[in-house]
Amino acid sequence: MIITGSISCKTRGECDIVDITSQVARQVAESGISSGTVTVFVPGSTAGVTTIEYESGLVADLQRLWERIVPRDAHYDHNSRWGDGNGHSHIRASILGPSLVVPFAEGRLTLGTWQQIILVDFDNRPRSRQAVLQIMGE
Ligand code: ZN
């Protein structure tokens, strides 16, 4: 069986990191599917999905990492073409990637104890995001 759902969150932009683990876990538990995989996919070219130990130190570390490897004030041709000033946001999102697959068994995600699913919004303004969840299994 395949069930496609979604989760919504509001973000503040510029590397805002949102823990979406409980929303994903709830939809998997409520799907009635015992074992399989859930794909978490964020539509849009300025956000990404990954996992982290969601504690404030690491969240800040990850936010700072992006400024080191893809600085906001570097030159981006995209900013000349579109004027939206978010060239860095697009590049960061491309590196991180838009999706994650998590296996589940007996209705529970197989995440580690200190591993949470996060949506990272790289855009340079607040956004309303709707991530797609596709739950596949039997
Ligand atoms: Zn743009």
Cα–ligand 1 centroid distance for 87 (angstroms): 6
Cα–ligand 1 centroid distance for 56 (angstroms): 28
CATH number of the domain at 51, please: 2.60.120.460
pLDDT at 83: 87
Q: pLDDT, tens digit, for every residue of 8-57?
A: 999 999 999 999 999 999 999 999 999 999 999 999 999 999 999 999 99
Cα–ligand 1 centroid distance for 85 (angstroms): 7
Cα–ligand 1 centroid distance for 18 (angstroms): 21
- DSSP for the chain, please give it: -EEEEEEEEEE-SSSEEEE-HHHHHHHHHHT---SEEEEEE--SSSEEEEEE---HHHHHHHHHHHHHHS-TTS--HHHHHH-SS-HHHHHHHHHH-SEEEEEEETTEE---TT-EEEEEE-SSS-EEEEEEEEEEE-
pTM (whole model) above 0.85: yes
Q: pLDDT, tens digit, for every residue of 69-83?
A: 999 999 999 999 988
Host domain of residue 105: 2-137
Q: Domain tally for the chain?
A: 1
Cα–ligand 1 centroid distance for 89 (angstroms): 8
